[in-house]
A and B are shown apart, each in its own frame.
Chain A
Amino acid sequence: MKQLTTLGLSASLVLLAGLPVAAHHNGATYFDTSTTIEHSDATVVEYAIVNPHGRLFYTVVDDEGNEQEWSAELASANNLRRRGLGGEIFKPGDQLVSVTGNPSRSGANFMRLERAEFADGTVAAFSGPNRGITPGPGAQQ
């Protein structure tokens, strides 16, 4: 696994239009939906497509060179599959330019995933009207 050297952690206030219509849970109960955090240069550990919620496990390296383990909650396996997000989107070792989502209210290294971007510009969006995979300019056809 490539050792990453930077942890880009930025918080920005985002006014969200609301919760995803198809969410079973009230996300605001568990995540701070008024805030997004973004991790730069993340390395995928596992993409788990399970119920009741899928999970993206990844690592980032902070400014002191310490590797931090994070995970991001997804929709359920059944709903990921129905939205075309249930395939082998992320593989262990994949490098992600950015991982963005709402932080857990518990303070754990845990968020609700909104989007992830690969080095070739491909974007996997997990919320909003453009949910799905948008190939980037560098993606292999």
Chain B
Amino acid sequence: MLSLRVNLGQLWSPKSAAGVVAVIFALMAGPAAAQADFEGIWNPSHPRMMGQPDPSTVRLTPAGQAEFDSFTPDKDPTLRCLMPGIPLGLVDPYPIEIVQQEHQILILYEHFHQVRRVFMDGREAPDHWLPSFIGYSTGEWDGDTLVIRTTHMHPDNYMWTAGFPFSGDENTYVIERWWREGDVLRFTGEVHDPTYYEEPYVVNGVWNYAPDGEIWEYECIPEFGGIE
């Protein structure tokens, strides 16, 4: 729903013209509410290899190759019970729930109880925002496609647990595009990390609408990470 904080007294005052014009422009701009309905629980139905690209097609920079060659399982955050965040958690084999609000879209992941806030009201990351596993996400509608831009991601994260690294430096960002086809929700994510990759690393995800789906608790015990 459109949110307008208009003082009616001002509207009808001699200085009301500017207020009326503002209301008209706001109405012409349309509501900030969703242009497509993604609400509800969605079960994963990702492509083979969790939607990761064929490793032979990934073009690492020399710095990225050095990181890839030095990867060991103990660097995988999820095996230490740290959330995968973004980009590692872009596709996960667990349900998600999407809640659409006026100013933000919430993506609630069963995996590690991750909460993503995708701000839809035009705000940008504040200067004090620190890098985090979940990052800082803003979104906008391109027709019925939700376009999400994520920045401020943590440098200790990974692209994929086959050893593909993620620098998390100031040049990294992720562009996701989500669209609905009936009871199927698809997305593609382009991870831009020019320090480690010659071209964006692209993942794809597929979710099936699950009106009777459930989001379960995901407790995690690091001793069972399987790092042996």
Contacts and interface: CB of A to CB of B under 8 A. Distances in A.
Interface in B33-62: 44, 46, 48-50, 52
Interface string A102-127: 00101010100000000000000000
Contacts of B44: 22
A104 B110 CA distance: 28
B218 A51 contact: yes
Interface in A76-92: 76-79, 81
A133 interface: no
Contacts of B110: 78
A21 B162 contact: no
Given A28-B162, A29-B161, A52-B78, A22 B218 contact: no
Contacts, number: 77
B81 interface: yes
B221 A51 contact: yes
B92 A24 contact: yes
A26 interface: yes
Interface string B71-91: 101001011010010000000
Contacts of B71: 29
A33 to B, nearest CB: 12
B46 A53 contact: no
Contact of B48 (A18, A30, A78): A18
Contact of A30 (B52, B73, B78, B216): B73
B163 A29 contact: yes
Interface string B198-228: 0000000000000000001011110011101
B226 A29 contact: no
A73 B79 CA distance: 12
Interface residues of A, number: 28
Dominant SS among interface residues on chain A: loop
A73 B226 CA distance: 7
B162 A51 contact: no
A70 to B, nearest CB: 11
B160 A52 contact: no
Contacts of A53: 224-226
Contacts of A77: 219
B88 to A, nearest CB: 9
Contacts of B187: none
A19 interface: yes
A113 B226 CA distance: 12
Interface centre among A54, A73, A78, A106 (most CB of B within 10 A): A78
Interface of B: 44, 46, 48-50, 52, 71, 73, 76, 78-79, 81, 84, 92-94, 110-111, 160-163, 216, 218-221, 224-226, 228
22 contacts: A21-B48, A21-B50, A21-B93, A22-B44, A23-B50, A24-B84, A25-B78, A25-B161, A26-B49, A26-B160, A26-B162, A29-B161, A30-B226, A52-B78, A52-B79, A52-B220, A52-B225, A53-B225, A53-B226, A54-B224, A55-B224, A55-B226
The 9 closest A-B pairs by CB, nearest first: A26-B162, A22-B93, A108-B228, A51-B220, A110-B228, A25-B161, A73-B226, A50-B224, A26-B161
